[in-house]
Amino acid sequence: MRERFPALAAGAAYLDGPGGSQTPQEVIDAVAGYLRDSNANLGGAFATSTATDDSVARARLDAAEFTGAEPQGIAFGANMTTLNFQLAHAVGRTLQAGDEIVVTQLDHDANVSPWLLVARDHDLVVRTAPIRTDDVTLDEDALEELIGKRTRVVAFTLGSNAVGSIPNAARIAAAAHRAGALAWADGVHLAPHRRLRARAWGIDVLLCSPYKFFGPHLGIAAIRPDLAESLPADRVRPASETPPGHRFETGTQSHEAIAGTAAAVDYLRSLGDGELDAAFERIERHETALAERFLAGIPDHLTLYGIPRPKGRTPTFCFNLAGHEPRSVAARLAERGIYVWDGNYYALEPMRALGLGPAGAVRAGFVHYTTEDEVDRLLEALAAV
């Protein structure tokens, strides 16, 4: 499988997956092939345009299967953050002054700042559900207590990009719906690690990014179809309000990235003999073994932030080494061909809750192409720093 990823041949240990994954050759070929063979805009009467129509329609079906949602609710965009700002402002136009939005302290800022700005513009109230700082998990009891009769949106993450914690999505969505609120989930971090199930979990809007699950840079919003039809959408006058386009896709999309996204879903299917469920079962087994290996071998001078066991988390580890700045540790690891992140990774609220300053912490993330040898290389390097 690793031979399908050209970047891995260089020998570096790519442990920067939470910030963006590497891509298999079939995704690269799909992007290049689109630009070479069928580069055109939608809706024309000629061959390359109809080929583009077919490519986008197929990718919409693939994205729906990947997110566990409906094809008519799939919107593509520049990235998750841009889509979330767009959709959050659409929701804001339907709310009344004094209405409430619940966000969480566990989230990436892409699912916090849009709601803060919407609240500013429409005189809304934002309430923040806390985390438990001992293991950096979401306090779901406290979240439920914040939901009241004026709550209109509950925005939460499916997996922390900083520390890997996985909240109970179905529980949070059910609590939101009991109050008549929307369940609004950031699935970016969870997407390469677990099967997404928007419909089964009761999520009204689920957002993710293909470049985190071995595809190109793009954003996907899986919106409950009736909601996608009813929210106000800003569009130019000639643009259609009905399929094959989408009301929240403005202007010409990145058709080559959309083609690459379909190829990424195909790649993942291939890991499960054509089935995404089987693929993610294999991925989870492998990643759990890697997490166990890392947690069993961390040196004494390492402070881990997050769940100290594989269960309930992705294999994404946030830590600091005593006496060393996070950037210095990342640079030392890079000298050994081990690529990790440092800083806050746009997870401002978790970092504040943990009392970490502007330097933040080091983050190493494993994905399914990570090997046991790469985990050992990381542990040896950390012990040597």
| Predicted confidence (pLDDT) per residue in 55-87, tens digit | 999 999 999 999 999 999 999 999 999 999 999
Give the pLDDT band (50/70/90) at residue 366. Answer: very high
DSSP calls for 11-34: --EE-BGGG-----HHHHHHHHHH
User: 178 and 90 share a domain?
Assistant: yes
Are 213 and 281 members of one domain?
no
Task: Looking at the structure, tell me whether residues 220 and 135 fall in a common domain.
Answer: yes
225 and 303 part of one domain: no
Question: 257 and 289 share a domain?
Answer: no
Residue 243 confidence class, pLDDT cut points 50, 70, 90: low
Measure Cα distances from 246 to 58, 76, 130, 145, 253 in Å: 14, 8, 35, 36, 11
Last residue of a domain, one of 270, 300, 323: 270
Residues 143 and 287 in one domain: no
Q: Are 293 and 259 in a shared domain?
A: no
Domain boundary among 270, 299, 320: 270
Question: What confidence score (pLDDT) does residue 267 get?
Answer: 98
Rounded Cα gap, residues 32 and 184, in angstroms: 34
For residue 169, the domain's CATH number is 3.40.640.10
Residues 262, 182 share a domain: yes
pLDDT per residue over 170-225, tens digit each?
999 999 999 999 999 999 999 999 999 999 999 999 999 999 999 999 999 999 99
Q: What percent of the chain has pLDDT over 70?
A: 99
pLDDT at 244: 58
Residues whose CB falls within 8 Å of the CB of residue 58, separated by 6 or more in sequence, listed in order: 262
What phi and psi values does residue 365 have, to the nearest 5 degrees? -125, 135
pLDDT tens-digit series, residues 22-34 = 999 999 999 999 9
Structural domain span for residue 16: 2-24+275-384
pTM of the full structure:
0.97
pLDDT digits (tens, 9 = 90+) for 256-296: 999 999 999 999 999 999 999 999 999 999 999 999 999 99
167 and 44 inside one domain: yes
The pLDDT of residue 45 is: 97
Asked if residue 253 and residue 180 are part of one domain, the reply reads yes
- Residue 94 sits in the same domain as residue 147: yes
Domain termination site, one of 245, 270, 295: 270
Domain holding 336: CATH number?
3.90.1150.10
Please indicate, yes or no, whether residues 351 and 205 belong to a single structural domain of this protein: no
Number of domains in the chain: 2
Gyration radius of the chain's alpha carbons: 21
